[in-house]
C-alpha cells in the first residue's frame, strides 16, 4: 500500500531577492554619484567638503528626494534622475580617509561597475574655481580617492573642484579644514551652478564637453574661459 504523501509546505520567498528584483523593475540606479567630505555641522562649510556641496546642488536641481541615513551604505543617500538616467547620490559618513568603504558597499549592492561611479571632490592642485573631470588615473595624495581606489579600483570618474593650494605643505590641513570665506562666494556659487548645468554630458561620458561648459559659465577668478582648463603644478594634493 503506497504511503500517503505529505502536503507540500508553502514556499517562503527570499524577501531580499524579491525586493532587489522589484527595485530593478522600477529603475535601479545606473550611476552612483558620490560627494566627498566629512560629516557633521562643523565641517559643512569646509573646503574639504566641496564635494558634498556639489552633490547637494545636483540633487536639488534635479529634484531628488531628501538625503536619508542608510547604515548599509555607511552614509546618506538620495535617489533621482539626471535626464533619463536613474542615479543614487551618496555622501559617505565614514570621514574622508575611509570613503571607499561606503562607495564599495553601495556599488556592490546595486551591482554597478566602477565606470558607473562619479566622484566629486576638492582639489588643491587646481586654482580656486577650476574644474577638471576624467575617468581613471592617480589620486595625487588625496586620501578619500586613495580609499575609493583601494575598495573598487581606479576605473571610476572623478570631478576635481579646485580650492587652491595654501602654498606651504605645513599649512595644508588648516587650509582644507577651514571654511570658505565670504570672498569665495563670488566663484564658489557660480562654479557649483555651472557643474549642475554641465553635468548631463559628463553622464554620457563626454568630459571635454563638461569641462568646456563649466569654464564658459564660471571662469575661475582672474582667468578667461580659454584659460580655465589649465592646471598649476603646485605639488601633491592634501591628504586629510
HSE-CB for 231 with a 13 A CA cutoff: 15
**Spatial separation of the C-alpha atoms in residues 109 and 102, rounded to whole Å:** 11
Active site residues: 48
Q: Taking the C-alpha atoms of 44, 187, 142 and 232 in order, what is their torsion angle to the nearest 10 degrees? A: -160
Torsion-angle region of 74 (φ positive above 0: left; ψ -120 to 50: alpha; else: beta): left
**Spatial separation of the C-alpha atoms in residues 30 and 69, rounded to whole Å:** 21
Amino acid at each position: 500500500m503506497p504511503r500517503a504523501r505529505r502536503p507540500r509546505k508553502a514556499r517562503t520567498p527570499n524577501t531580499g531577492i524579491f525586493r532587489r528584483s522589484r527595485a530593478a523593475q522600477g529603475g535601479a540606479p545606473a550611476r552612483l554619484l558620490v560627494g566627498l567630505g566629512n560629516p557633521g555641522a562643523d565641517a559643512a562649510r569646509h573646503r574639504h567638503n566641496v564635494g558634498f556641496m556639489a552633490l547637494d546642488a545636483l540633487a536639488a536641481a534635479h529634484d531628488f528626494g531628501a538625503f536619508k541615513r542608510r547604515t548599509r551604505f555607511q552614509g546618506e543617500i538620495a535617489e533621482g534622475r539626471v535626464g533619463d538616467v536613474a542615479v543614487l547620490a551618496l555622501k559617505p559618513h565614514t570621514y574622508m580617509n575611509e570613503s571607499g568603504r561606503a562607495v564599495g558597499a553601495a556599488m556592490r549592492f546595486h551591482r554597478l561597475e566602477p565606470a558607473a561611479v562619479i566622484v566629486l571632490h576638492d582639489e588643491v592642485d587646481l586654482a580656486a574655481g577650476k574644474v577638471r573631470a576624467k575617468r581613471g588615473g592617480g589620486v595625487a595624495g588625496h586620501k578619500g580617492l586613495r580609499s575609493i581606489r583601494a575598495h573598487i579600483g581606479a576605473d571610476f570618474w572623478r570631478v576635481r573642484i579646485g580650492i587652491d593650494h595654501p602654498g606651504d605643505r605645513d599649512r595644508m590641513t588648516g587650509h582644507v579644514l577651514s571654511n570658505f570665506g565670504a570672498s569665495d562666494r563670488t566663484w564658489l556659487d557660480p562654479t557649483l551652478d555651472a557643474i549642475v548645468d554641465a553635468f548631463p554630458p559628463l553622464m554620457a561620458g563626454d568630459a571635454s564637453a563638461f569641462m568646456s561648459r563649466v569654464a564658459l559659465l564660471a571662469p575661475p577668478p582672474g582667468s578667461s574661459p580659454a584659460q580655465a582648463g589649465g592646471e598649476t603644478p603646485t605639488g601633491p594634493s592634501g591628504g586629510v
